[in-house]
């Protein structure tokens, strides 16, 4: 299978995983967008709406988004959010 076709399948699987948690994100005025899946199978995401500036976004990312993707698409090696808000310490 060509690499681009494989990446398209991975993207569809990632989107399906995200669709399972999007209703919860949208309830709080947020969403998530896949920017790319790199050659080394790292998903790069952008947190949108309220999620982009929420102080709890790091917990949402780790506890919800990351787990949903890793559970549904084990081929993915890592997940990065380009605009993750650091938690207050």
DSSP collapsed to 3 states, 29-48: CEEEEEEEECCCCEEEEEEE
> Residue 60: what pLDDT?
77
Whether the pTM exceeds 0.95: the reply is no
> Residue 85: what pLDDT?
64
Q: Which domains occur in the chain, in start order?
A: 2-81 (3.30.300.130)
What's the rounded Cα separation, in Å, for the pair 89 and 81? 19
* pLDDT tens, per residue, the chain with 89 residues: 577 888 899 999 999 999 999 998 898 888 999 999 999 999 999 988 887 777 777 777 777 899 999 999 999 999 998 887 665 43
């Amino acid at each position: 299978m060509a690499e681009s076709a494989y990446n398209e399948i991975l993207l569809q699987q990632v989107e399906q995983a995200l669709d399972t948690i999007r209703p919860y994100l949208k309830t709080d005025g947020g969403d998530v967008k896949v920017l790319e899946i790199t050659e080394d199978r790292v998903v790069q995401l952008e947190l949108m709406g309220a999620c982009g500036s929420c102080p709890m976004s790091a917990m949402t990312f780790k506890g919800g988004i990351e787990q949903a993707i890793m559970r549904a698409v084990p081929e993915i090696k890592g997940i990065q959010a380009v605009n993750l808000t650091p938690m207050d310490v």
